[in-house]
Amino acid sequence: MIAYLQHLSYWDWLALGTLLLILEVFGAGGYLLWIGIAAASVGVLTYLFPALPWALQFVLFGLLSVLTAVFWWQRQRAGSKVSAQPGLNQRGSELIGRTFVLHEAIIGGRGKIRAGDSLWLVIGADLPVGSEVRVTGQDGVLLKVEPL
């Protein structure tokens, strides 16, 4: 084994990089991509400097793997900024605080309101059709209402 390690060529590093990139295709979330790039980089360095000792090759691979992983981690954190539109893709949250007329009576704690061109299920105190209600919250697809 030690004889193999002492004679690592750039093909070995490029093969490792290719294997890691293939594994990345199966859904590693970006981490094997950067480690594969580090292995390919060591392969290029080994091609340019064929007398590079095997121990230094592994040290370079470790350092480049850590540096690229840190780069990826920082890039991921920078991409997760707070949205300027916090209610985006949260259908129903824009209805909180608005008032509506009951489309179907609330019986047994459930009824319906019409908001725009949609009917929404509501939960709250029993009320007859035509009562005005205010949306106070949301529980999944159910809107919580209270009488005005």
d(CA 69, CA 74): 9
In this structure, what are the phi and psi dihedrals at residue 116, rounded to the nearest 5 degrees? 70, -125
Chain segment 92-113, per-residue pLDDT in tens: 888 999 999 999 999 999 999 9
DSSP 87: T
Res 8: pLDDT = 83
For 54-92, b/e burial (b = at least 16 CB within 10 A) is: eeebeebbeebbeebeeebeeeeeeeeeeeeeeeeeeeb
Residue 6 has pLDDT above 80, yes or no: no
Note whether residue 87 is domain-resident.
Answer: no
What is the domain extent for residue 127?
Answer: 93-147
Domain match, 124 and 72 both: no
Res 23: pLDDT = 92
Chain segment 65-83, per-residue pLDDT in tens: 999 889 888 888 887 677 6
Domain match, 10 and 60 both: yes
Domain match, 100 and 45 both: no
Domain match, 31 and 98 both: no
Q: What is the mean pLDDT of the chain?
A: 89
Note whether residue 63 is domain-resident.
Answer: yes
Domain match, 10 and 70 both: yes
Res 60: pLDDT = 96
Note whether residue 84 is domain-resident.
Answer: no
Domain match, 75 and 19 both: yes
0.85 exceeded by pTM: no
Domain match, 56 and 102 both: no
Chain segment 109-132, per-residue pLDDT in tens: 999 999 988 999 999 999 999 999
How many domains does the structure of the chain reveal? 2
Chain segment 13-55, per-residue pLDDT in tens: 999 999 999 999 988 777 788 899 999 999 999 999 998 998 9
